[in-house]
Chain A
Amino acid sequence: MADTLLAVRNLKKSFGGVNATDDVSIEVERGELHAVIGPNGAGKTTLIAQLSGDLAPDSGKVLLDGKDITSVPTHRRSHFGMARSFQITSVFMNMSVIANVSLAVQSHDGTSFRFWQPACTEERLRRPAMDILDKVGLADRAGTIASAMSHGERRQLELAMALATKPRFLLLDEPMAGMGVEESAAMVGILKGLKGDKTILLVEHDMDAVFALADRISVLVYGRVIATGKPAEIRRNKAVRDAYLGED
C-alpha cells in the first residue's frame, strides 16, 4: 500500500564544500510517524528546512500528496497542511503564551487584513488557542510572557503553535531537545496522542523516544540516508550500528 503523503526525491543541498543533503529520497506514508535520526551535523535540520520551504534545495523535488511543492514558499505550505517546530525554540518571546498560540490560530482563520477590532478579545481565536494549550499541558500558563517560561515549557509552546495551524503533516525538529526526563516523558505522551491522527516526521536524538514512537526510521549520516526501515530492522542494521547507534 503506497499511500504516500510526502515524497522527497533526490534532494541535494550543499553549503560551500559540505553536502548537507546528499541525494536524499524519503517517503512518508499518510498517518505514519517517520523518525529521522543521525549524528550531529548529519543534515537533519537542513532537510526539515527544505521540506518546510525555509531553504531552497540545489536540486531534487519535494512532493506533497503527489503535488510538486519544491518552489512553493513557506507560508503557502502551511496552508497545504504542513507545520514545523524549530530545533532552536522559535516563539514570540515578548508575547504571552496565549497570544503566541492565538496568532498561530489566526493564520488559519481567514484573512488578517483586519485593521480595527482588537484580536485579543476574539473568542474564535482564544477558544481554539486554549484548547491546544490544554492539550500540551500549558493551560495554566496562558497569561505568562513566553520569555518568562522555562526551556521545557517553551518547547511545549513550540509544539502548541505548530498544532494550532491544524496541520495534517508535522515536521518536528528535536521537540525534546534540552528537556528533563519528566518533560520528555510528557512530550512522548503528547506525540503518542497525535500519532495516527497526524502524519509526523520526527527528528530526535532521544533514542528511547524514537524507538517508542516511530513506525519507521530513516538514518541520515553526512547528508545521506544510509538506511530506512522499521525500528527493529534499524536496530539490527550493521551500517547503522557502526555509524551511529554504536556510539551510545
Chain B
Amino acid sequence: MSEAAPSAAAIKEFTRPPSLLGKSVTGRYITVAFMVLLLVLPLVAWFTGNTFYLDFSTRIICLSFAAVSLNLILGFGGMISFGHAAFIGIGAYMVGIPAYHGYESGWLHFPLAMGVSALFALVTGAVCLRTKGVYFIMITMAFAQMAYYLFLSLEEYGGDDGLTIYNRSVLNIIDIENKVVLFLLAYAALATGIYAVYRIVNSRFGMVVRGCQSNEARMKALGYNTYAYRLTAYVIAGAMCGLAGALLGNFQSFISPDMMGWTRSGELMFMVILGGTGTLFGPVLGAVAFLVIEEILSAFTTYWALPFGILLILSVLFIKGGLSGLIHRGLKHG
C-alpha cells in the first residue's frame, strides 16, 4: 500500500536499544566524567584527610539511589508518589531493629529491608494505584505518614528519640565498619540500580509501564492489565528504595522516624524533578545538586530553608526537563 520504502535508518534507530549513557557523544563523556568524579573525588578527599567529604558523599549516594528508585515510578511510570521516603525509613529500621536484638548479619538486614519494603509497597500500592492524579499523591503520602507514626509509636525502638545502630551490618566478605568500604558498597549499589533501571525501562515490562504513563486508556484497550504492571513497578521501586534506606541507616548509625517524614518524601521528589524525570542519571544529578546547595546555603545562614525552597521551586518551574534537560540543550546549541 505504501509507495515509499520504509526508511531503514529510522527503523534502525528504533531497533537499537537506547544506550545507557545517552545518544550524544559529548553527553556520554559528561555522564561518565560525572560518575567517575562522584567515585574519585570523595576518595581523594579521604586520602588527603578530609573525611567530611567522604561522609557527605556517602549520604549523597544513598539518597541518589533512593531518587533513582523513585524515578522508576515517577519518571517512567507517571506515578507521582509523595510517600517514597517511607521505604527509606523501613529499610533503615530493618537494619536497626534486628541489630537491636543482636542479629547483625547483613545477609539478614539487606534482604529484609528489600522484602519488607516490597511488602509495604504491595499492600499500600494495591490501594494507591486504584486512584489517579492528586488522589494518588495524597494517598501515598497518607500511607507514608502511617508508617511514620507506626515507628514513632514503637517505644521499644526509641520512638521519636530514634535508635542507635552500634555496629554496622556484618558482611563476611567486606567490612563496612570501614567508611571507604561502605562508600564503595553504596556506590556499587547505585551503579547497579541505575543499570537495573536501564534494563527494566527498555524491557517489555518497561515499555508497558511507560505506555501506561503515556496513555493508560489505550493500554487497557490494547489488552494490558495496567493495574498489575503498575503495581509491579511500584513494588520494584519500593524494594530498591528499601535497600537505599538500609545503606543510609548503616551510614548514619542513628535512625529515627524523621527519615520517613513527608518532607523527606518531598525532598526525594525534588531531587528527581530537579535532575530530570525519566532520565537514567538525572536523579543522581538532582540529588547531588540538591544536597550540595543545601549544604552551602546552610553554611551561610541559619535561615537557609526559605531561599532554598524558593530556589528549588524556581528551578522546577523554569528549567524544563531539569538539569539533564539543561545540559542536553546546552550540548545541542553549544
A interface, CB within 8 angstroms of B: 52-54, 73-76, 78-79, 83-84, 86, 90-96, 98-99, 102-104, 106-108, 112-122, 126, 130, 133-140, 142-144, 161-162, 164-165, 190
B4 at the interface (CB under 8 A from A): yes
Answer yes or no: B7 CB below 8 A from chain A CBs: yes
Pick from B199, B214, B222: contact of A104, CB under 8 Å: B222
Contact B17 A75 (CB under 8 A): no
In residues 1-60 of chain B, which contact A (Cβ within 8 Å)?
A: 1-2, 4-7, 9-11, 13-18
The residues of A that contact B83 with a CB separation of less than 8 Å are: none
Asked if B134 lies at the interface with its beta carbon under 8 angstroms from chain A, I say: no
Among B143-151, B225-233, B264-272, which stretch is in contact with chain A? B225-233
A-chain residues with CB within 8 Å of residue B217 when the two chains form the complex: 54, 86, 90
- Taking CB atoms, residues of chain B closer than 8 Å to A121 are 15-17
Partner of B17, one of A102, A118, A137: A118
Which of B200, B210, B220 contacts A74, CB < 8 Å? B220
Interface string of B102-143 (1 = CB under 8 A from A): 000000000000000000000000000000000000000000
B residues near A78, Cβ cutoff 8 Å: 220-223
With both beta carbons as reference points, the residue of chain B lying nearest to A52 in the complex is identified as: B221
Chain B residues within CB distance 8 Å of chain A: 1-2, 4-7, 9-11, 13-18, 199-200, 202-208, 210-211, 214-215, 217-226, 229, 232
What's the A-B contact tally at a CB cutoff of 8 Å? 153
* B223 adjacent to A108 (CB under 8 Å): yes
Cβ–Cβ contact B222 & A161, under 8 A: yes
Once A99-B14, A142-B6 are accepted as A-B contacts, the answer to whether A79 and B203 lie under 8 Å apart by CB is: no
Q: A75: which of B7, B203, B224, B232 is its contact (CB, 8 Å)? A: B224
The 9 A-B pairs at the shortest CB distance, nearest first, are namely A143-B10, A78-B223, A118-B17, A140-B4, A107-B223, A92-B214, A74-B220, A114-B204, A139-B6
Task: Kindly list chain A residues whose C-beta atoms are within 8 Å of the C-beta of B222.
Answer: 75, 78, 83, 103-104, 107, 161, 164-165
24 contacts between A and B (CB under 8 A): A75-B226, A76-B225, A79-B223, A86-B217, A90-B221, A92-B215, A98-B14, A99-B14, A99-B207, A102-B207, A106-B204, A106-B207, A112-B204, A113-B205, A114-B204, A115-B203, A118-B202, A120-B16, A122-B204, A142-B6, A142-B11, A143-B13, A143-B14, A165-B223
Contact call A90/B10, Cβ cutoff below 8 A: no
- CA distance in complex: A165, B214 (Å): 19
Which B residues touch A112, using CB under 8 A?
204-205, 207-208, 224, 229
A102 CA to B211 CA, complexed, in Å: 11
Question: Do residues B203 and A83 form an inter-chain contact, with CB atoms below 8 A?
Answer: no
**Minimum CB–CB distance for B107 against chain A, Å:** 24
Chain B neighbourhood of A84, CB < 8 A: 221
Residues of B within 8 A of A144 (CB): 10
Q: Which residues of chain A are near B200, meaning CB under 8 Å?
A: 115-116
Query: Which A residues are CB-close (under 8 A) to B214?
Result: 92-95
Residues of chain A with a CB closer than 8 A to B206's CB: 115, 119
Nearest Cβ in chain A — how far from B22, in angstroms? Answer: 16
- A-chain residues with CB within 8 Å of residue B16 when the two chains form the complex: 120-121
Among residues of A, the one whose C-beta sits closest to the C-beta of B10 is: A143
**Pair B2/A138 contact, Cβ less than 8 Å:** yes
**B19 nearest CB across to chain A (Å):** 11
User: Which A residues touch B208, using CB under 8 A?
Assistant: 103, 106, 112
Given the complex, which residues of A lie within 8 Å of B1, measured CB to CB? 134-137, 190
CB pair B9–A103 under 8 Å, yes or no, is no
Minimal beta-carbon separation of A126 from chain B (angstroms): 6
